[in-house]
């Protein structure tokens, strides 16, 4: 207790990253910030290496086998491997739209953003030389076509006026001189912002997902107009690293789980995967001693593990003590036989909420409307407050119902004079 402030504080260590310090457990107002929790354990779904460090290349302590239980000491630490990067836009050659892959997860660059891309605003000729008097036509540059400005060549101003520069056509890699602006001030070529140039063959995908189809492949030198900034492709591989202690022998180290799920949270509630014997004793080697079988456990049965799985030295099998959920039978079960798992953790799932349709059918969201001038039922009308002169009850007390059946209906006859 902190005598000055009246706070309850405790020194602790965060399991996620190992940070240590003091934390307030309870405030003077009664607010509780910490509560007790069960110790966390992990389960090896398949064989995985126990390493001396968190780094991928660290030395291996030993190999962990499927079915082993690990005590969590630190983690998880999540790391996402380099993913493919794509940018949405359209190819400058044929206006094919989609997501261009500009970077591979291995680090290979397929396309780079370039400030040297220009677009033709009015149809103009591309010539082999800058001089109009001695040049030859290379080809016509169409409106909207992308051109890459070539370095090393200065701008040339012909005697006829205007300005010319050397470009490379992104469509077919044709090179030549193009008039940027005419003698009358007409602009034929304008700089195009946010354009990529392919440095090698780059696929154009229909979407951002990893499984999206390829629309076409852009070849080296082709230009691509981007509509937005590049984005990471969904579905990239994620690595999760834990610092653990093996329950079997107490060895400590680091394990890494990939998207395949080599390491998963452990639960004492397990489901039987294959038919297995529930025995009365721990040993599983028939040659060593007689094995008394309680009964056979069928696939799908649920058991509760009461002791952490331990390896039987006589048979090499991983064994655990458990209680069957169906009949409360107690005994020992083999967790792993050879390299095959016979049971797997199955944590209880929270109860599912009833579908919206069933809920609506059971109870309407809006109660049925009552008639605007509905009369009180006869049995309520017969109740009324008893006055001061009454012998029963007092002020505010209602009289009991005198009859349990409705009053008789009066016959309707024609009144005189009507």
The answer to whether residue 391 scores a pLDDT higher than 50 is no
How many Cβ atoms are within 10 Å of 75's Cβ, its own excluded?
Answer: 23
User: Per-residue pLDDT averaged across 202-212, rounded?
Assistant: 88
How many Cβ atoms are within 10 Å of 8's Cβ, its own excluded?
Answer: 16
Strand partners, 125: 140
What was the pLDDT predicted at 364?
46
User: Per-residue pLDDT averaged across 45-69, rounded?
Assistant: 92
Residues contacting 53, CB < 8 A, separation 6+ = 59, 254
Average pLDDT, the chain: 82
Q: What is the pTM of this model?
A: 0.52
Domain 41-70+238-265: which CATH number of 3.40.50.970, 3.40.630.30, 2.30.30.40, 2.40.110.10: 2.30.30.40
Whether 41-70+238-265 shares its CATH topology with 119-188 is answered yes
H/E element, 125:
strand 124-127
The answer to whether residue 123 scores a pLDDT higher than 80 is yes
H/E element, 240:
strand 238-246
Where is average pLDDT lowest: 183-197, 214-228, 327-341, 396-410? 396-410
Whether the bond between 34 and the residue before it is cis, its omega within 30 degrees of 0, is no
- Of residues 238 and 250, more confidence is placed in 250
- Whether the CB-CB separation of 130 and 164 falls below 8 Å is answered with yes
What was the pLDDT predicted at 407?
53
Question: Topology of 269-345 in CATH?
Answer: SH3 type barrels. (2.30.30)
Q: What is the pLDDT of residues 334-371, one digit of tens each?
A: 998 878 899 999 887 655 555 555 444 444 444 444 44
Give how far Cα 111 sits from Cα of 99, 168, 178, Å: 12, 17, 25
Torsion angle defined by CA atoms of residues 330, 331, 332 and 335, in that order, rounded to the nearest 10 degrees = -40
d(CA 9, CA 137): 85
- Whether the CB-CB separation of 87 and 102 falls below 8 Å is answered with yes
- Of residues 147 and 357, more confidence is placed in 147
The answer to whether residue 236 scores a pLDDT higher than 90 is no
- Whether the CB-CB separation of 102 and 242 falls below 8 Å is answered with no
pLDDT band of 164, cuts 50, 70, 90: very high
What was the pLDDT predicted at 352?
54
The answer to whether residue 395 scores a pLDDT higher than 80 is no
Residues contacting 322, CB < 8 A, separation 6+ = 270, 278, 303, 304, 305, 306, 330, 331, 332, 333
The answer to whether residue 267 scores a pLDDT higher than 80 is yes
DSSP designation for 273 = -
- Count Cβ atoms within 10 A of the Cβ of residue 298 and give its class: 0-12 exposed, 13-18 middle, 19 or more buried: exposed
Where is average pLDDT lowest: 230-239, 311-320, 392-401? 392-401
What was the pLDDT predicted at 343?
93
What was the pLDDT predicted at 399?
44
User: What sign results for the dihedral spanned by CA atoms 129, 132, 138, 143?
Assistant: positive
User: Per-residue pLDDT averaged across 165-180, rounded?
Assistant: 90
The answer to whether residue 41 scores a pLDDT higher than 80 is yes
* 190 three-class SS: strand
The answer to whether residue 401 scores a pLDDT higher than 70 is no
Q: What is the phi/psi pair of residue 381, to 5°?
A: -65, -30
Q: What is the pLDDT of residues 59-71, one digit of tens each?
A: 999 999 999 999 9
Tell me the percentage of the chain whose pLDDT exceeds 90: 41
Q: How far is CA 318 from the centre of its chain?
A: 34
Q: How far is CA 299 from the centre of its chain?
A: 31
Domain boundaries, the chain: 1-37, 41-70+238-265, 82-115+193-234, 119-188, 269-345
- Report domain 119-188's class: mainly beta
What was the pLDDT predicted at 371?
47
């Amino acid at each position: 207790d902190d005598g000055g402030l009246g706070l309850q504080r405790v020194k602790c260590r965060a399991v996620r990253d190992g940070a240590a310090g003091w934390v307030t457990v309870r405030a003077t107002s009664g607010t509780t910030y910490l509560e007790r929790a069960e110790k966390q354990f992990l389960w090896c779904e398949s064989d995985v290496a126990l390493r001396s460090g968190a780094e991928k290349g660290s030395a291996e302590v030993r190999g962990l086998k499927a079915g082993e239980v690990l005590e969590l000491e630190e983690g998880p630490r999540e790391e996402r491997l380099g993913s493919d990067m794509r940018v949405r836009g359209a190819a400058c050659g044929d206006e094919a739209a989609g997501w261009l892959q500009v970077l591979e997860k291995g680090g290979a660059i397929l396309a780079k953003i370039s400030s040297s891309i220009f677009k033709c605003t009015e149809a103009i000729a591309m010539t082999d030389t800058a001089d109009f008097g001695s040049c030859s036509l290379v080809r016509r540059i169409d409106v909207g076509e992308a051109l890459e400005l070539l370095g090393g060549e200065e701008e040339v101003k012909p005697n006829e006026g205007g300005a010319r520069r050397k470009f490379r056509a992104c469509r077919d890699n044709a090179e030549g001189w193009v008039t940027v602006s005419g003698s009358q001030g007409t602009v034929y070529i304008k700089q195009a912002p946010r354009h990529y140039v392919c440095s090698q063959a780059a696929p154009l995908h229909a979407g951002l997902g990893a499984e999206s189809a390829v629309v076409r492949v852009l070849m080296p030198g082709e230009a691509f107009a981007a509509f937005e900034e590049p984005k990471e492709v969904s579905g990239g591989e994620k690595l999760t690293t834990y610092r653990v202690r093996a329950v079997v022998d107490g060895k400590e180290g680091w394990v890494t789980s990939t998207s395949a799920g080599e390491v998963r949270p452990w639960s004492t509630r397990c489901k039987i995967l294959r038919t297995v014997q529930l025995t009365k004793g721990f040993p599983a080697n028939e040659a060593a001693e007689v094995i008394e079988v309680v009964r056979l456990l069928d696939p799908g049965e649920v058991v509760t593990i009461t002791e952490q799985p331990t390896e039987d030295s006589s048979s090499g099998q991983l064994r655990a003590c458990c209680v069957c959920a169906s009949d409360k039978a107690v005994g020992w079960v083999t967790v792993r036989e050879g390299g095959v798992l016979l049971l797997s953790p199955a944590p209880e799932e929270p109860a599912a909420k009833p579908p919206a349709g069933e809920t609506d059918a059971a109870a309407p969201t809006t109660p049925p409307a009552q008639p605007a001038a509905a009369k009180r039922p006869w049995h309520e009308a017969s109740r009324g407050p008893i006055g001061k002169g009454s012998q029963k009850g007092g002020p505010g007390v209602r009289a009991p119902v005198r009859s349990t059946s409705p009053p008789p209906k009066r016959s309707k006859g024609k009144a005189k004079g009507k």
